[in-house]
Amino acid sequence: MALLVVGLLVYQAEQTNQSLVRQVDVLQSQIQDLKERWYGAPAIYQPPAITNTDIVFFDVKGSTQGQLIESLDHADLCKKYPPCASDPAVPNGVAWGLEGGNLVDKTVSCYSPSTTTVAFREMVVLPRWTPAVDGTVKIPLVERWNALAKAIYTHEAGHVAIAQKGIADLNNRAQQLSTCDAVFTFWDDPHVYDKLDADQAAYHARLHADCRPEVGCIPPGWMGW
């Protein structure tokens, strides 16, 4: 009988301990949840300005990573800012950021080839997320978003650098021509941008060969993206 009582007391003590452990786990989970609630810190990543480049934002909605991904995927950037350059690594044509450029003036004026510079201005399209600052969004999600936004910016800034160098090279070639008519013919050539397009494609190939966020490439599944 004494052994039975002792056994019962031990069992009850174990049950009590297990109950306390569960209560502690619940409390720790609640404390962690409170700690992870976002009230504005860390700040949402803001992309730096790029020389001679307009930054256009498209809004992304959601309070979970899944919702953000869905919003990014359905932004339809390639329909709003066509055409998108093909990328074999993204066969579905979904883009989370874009880069492009246009002539500042639609016509080229030339008085002397050596002094004629055709001005271009670049544009990048980047995602913008403005979560509610009320604790409904978690800090880890903000940190993942900031990492993603920075990687997208880095990627598009790389395209801008290539474009600006390519346009500078084209202007330099045109300035070596002997007549303004030759300059007009040069810029009217439908293949004038072929090398620039090839350089942009080669940039994609280099990124995919060594895909790292810090150089503007997002590996599949990186940080849940």
User: Which has the higher per-residue pLDDT, 90 or 105?
Assistant: 105
pLDDT digits (tens, 9 = 90+) for 174-209: 999 999 999 999 999 999 999 999 999 999 999 999
106 pLDDT band, cuts 50/70/90, is confident
Angle between helix 194-209 and helix 139-174 axes, rounded to 10 deg: 150
Same domain, 207 and 123: yes
142 and 215 share a domain? yes
Say whether both 31 and 83 belong to one domain.
Answer: no
Which pLDDT does position 68 carry in this prediction?
A: 99
For residue 134, tell me if it sits in a domain: yes
Residue type, position 184, single letter? F
Computed over every residue of the chain, the mean pLDDT equals 91
pLDDT bucket at 4, cuts 50 / 70 / 90: low
Residue 44 covered by a domain:
no
Q: Assess whether pLDDT exceeds 70 at residue 73.
A: yes
Percent of the chain scoring above 90 in pLDDT = 75
If asked whether residues 21 and 59 sit together in one domain, one would say no
Apex 30 CA angle, 29 and 34, nearest 5: 115
Any domain includes 43: no
46 belongs to a structural domain: no
Q: What's the pLDDT score for residue 18?
A: 72
Residue 130: pLDDT band (50, 70, 90) is very high
- Say if residue 32 is in the same domain as residue 58: no
Report in angstroms the alpha-carbon separations of 196 from 11, 81, 106, 164, 216: 77, 19, 20, 10, 19
- Is the Cβ–Cβ distance between 36 and 138 less than 8 Å? yes
Same domain? For 62 and 148 the reply is yes
My answer on whether 102 and 132 are in the same domain is yes
Distance in angstroms (rounded) separating the CA atoms of residues 94 and 88 = 12
Q: How far apart are alpha carbons 15 and 94 in whole angstroms?
A: 54
Residues 38, 135 contacting (CB under 8 angstroms):
yes
Give the pLDDT confidence score for residue 31 in this predicted structure: 62
- Determine the pLDDT at residue 85: 77
pLDDT at residue 126 above 90? Answer: yes
Supply the range of the domain harboring residue 8: 1-36
pLDDT in tens, 15-66: 776 765 666 556 565 566 667 899 999 999 999 999 999 999 999 999 999 9
Per-residue tokens: 65:
């990573």
Number of domains within the chain: 2
Residues 164 and 191 placed together within one structural domain of the fold: yes
According to DSSP, the β-strands at 120-129 and 53-60 are parallel
Whether residues 8 and 109 fall in one domain = no
- Give the angle subtended at the CA of 59 by the CAs of 56 and 61, to the nearest 5°: 165
Look at residue 110 in the predicted model and tell me its pLDDT: 97
Hey, what long-range contacts does 177-180 have (CB within 8 A, 24 or more apart)? 177/113, 178/113, 179/113, 180/110, 180/111, 180/112, 180/113, 180/116
26 with 100, same domain: the answer is no
pTM, entire model: 0.86
- Is-contact 210 91, C-beta < 8 A? no
